[in-house]
Structure 1
Amino acid sequence: MNQYIIYFNQQWVGDHSDEWVVSRGPLANAVVEEMKDAGVYVFAGGLEDIDKAFSADATSGTLQITDGPFIATKEFLGGLTIVHVADDEAAKMWAGKLALACGWPQEVRRIG
């Protein structure tokens, strides 16, 4: 069994009405419940906006905590799900279910 992260960048969501985005919540929650029932669920959650981020950096030898993301970027993580499944095919299947429920792309990577 392996753990996989299924995630999306906020920019992949696209431009939709608030009503449309809210309507996707129950669909995504249903997939999460299906994951729990299947025994593959580890964690899932959306992230706060990037303007509420802060960073910890110790590369200089001294820890510095700063407001904002570590690096300015046009894309940022919007949400993630972690599953514990047998193989790549199972991870792809769950990512597909999330992509259909959410209405935007998902990317999958095995956690090493």
Structure 2
Amino acid sequence: MTQYIICFNEHWVGDHREEWFIRRGPLAKAVVEEMKNAGVYVFAGGLDEDIDKAFSADTTSGTLEVTDGPFAVTEEFLGGLTIVDVAGDEAAKMWAGKVAEACGWPQEVRRIG
């Protein structure tokens, strides 16, 4: 079995009314339940949308520096993630498709190495 991250950037979500997001919640929860029942679920969660609450830790200078904000200054940032433990790429793609359909926005899939 191999672990994969299924994730999305916050800017992929798009602008939607609150009612739209409320309708997506049960769909996403159902996919998580399906993953658990299939024995592939490791973890899933959305990240705090307030990027100003992020901080970074960096030791490349030889000294630990912890700073407010994301490490890279960018308009794109991770919005949420799911970790699955599956047999291979095809299974990871299948689960990513289910997550994308439930959430209503694209997902990126990468093997955890």
Q: TM-score with structure 2 length normalisation?
A: 0.97
The letter of the residue matching 1:15 is D
Offset from partner CA, 1:22-71 (integer Å, 9 cap, x none): 21111001000000000000000000121210110111101011111111
Runs of 4+ in 1 over 2 A off after TM superposition: none
Unaligned segments of structure 2, at least 5 residues: none
User: 1-side partners of 2:41 and 2:32: how far apart?
Assistant: 7
RMSD: 0.6
Give the equivalent residue in structure 2 for 1:54: 55
Give the equivalent residue in structure 2 for 1:81: 82
State which drifts further: 101-110 or 13-22: 13-22
Matched residue count: 112
Q: TM-score with structure 1 length normalisation?
A: 0.98
User: 2-side partners of 1:25 and 1:51: how far apart?
Assistant: 25
Q: How does 1:1-112 map to 2 (within 5 A)?
A: 1-49=1-49, 50-112=51-113
Unaligned segments of structure 1, at least 5 residues: none
Percentage of matched positions with identical amino acids: 79
User: 2-side partners of 1:94 and 1:21: how far apart?
Assistant: 20
SS in 2 for 1:101: helix
